[in-house]
Structure 1
C-alpha cells in the first residue's frame, strides 16, 4: 500500500512543478527575448531486490524553446535582435562569463557597451565592430542591418 501513496505523491508533486513552469512561461510570453522553459516527466525504476516493479516520477528540464520570436522595431540605435543560436557574452558581477539574448545594448558613462548595467564582455585581444548593410525598398523605406561581431586584434609583427 505504501508504494501506491508514494507514486501518487511523486506524480502530484511533479505535476505541480510542471504547472509552475507553465505559469512562468505564460506570464513571460510577451517579454521580449524570453525563451519558454521545457519540462518533461519520466519514470525512474527503483533499484533493489524487493522492488523490481516500482518506479518513481522524476522531472527534467531538457532546455528552453529556442524558436525565434517576433522581431519588433524599437527605434533605439543599439538594440540588436539575435537570430538562431546567437548569444551575447557579458561579464557577471563575480568576473565570470554570462550569456544573454537580451539585445538592449546601451553605452555607459565610461563608453562601455552594457546590457542592463552589465558590461558586454570582449576577450582580451579582440575588438567589437559593427557591420552595416543598407537596403532601400519602396514598401518599407530605408532598412539598416547592423551586425555586431568580434574579430581578433591584428598583430603588428
Structure 2
C-alpha cells in the first residue's frame, strides 16, 4: 500500500507493522501506532510505543534502544522505498485514551473526558469492563465507555485536583 499524496498522513503499510511488532514486543513494549507521512520527496515514519499495561512511563533509554533495533530491522527488510526519517516515541504525557487498557495505564492521573452528557475532568481511580471511575472536585463518577466521545490524559501543574 503506497502512502497518499504529499502532505498526507497514513498508517504505515502492514509490512512495516509486521516487521516492527516483534522488535517492540521483545523490549517489553507494545506497538500503538505507525504512521508514514509524505511531504514532497520527504517521508517520516512515526512509531509510537507504550507499556502493555499498568502505571508507569516508557523511559528514554528504552526508547533509544528500541529505536536502534527498529532502525536495524527496517534497514534489513527495506520495506519503505526511498529515504525517510524515523521517529520513535511514547504516547506522551497528554495521550488520547481510547480503550480500557489505555484508561488502565492512566489510573492515578488526570483525564479530560468528553461524553454525550458533557465533560468530566478528574483523576482516574479505576477501570472496569464497562467504564472508568473518575474523582472530580465534587464527586466520584462512573463514566460508561459507551458514553465517551473523546478522552485525554492531561498534565495539570496547577494542582487543581
What TM-score do you get using the length of structure 2 for normalisation? 0.23
Larger Rg: 1 or 2?
Answer: 1
Q: Which has the higher contact order (CA 8 A, sep 6+)?
A: 2
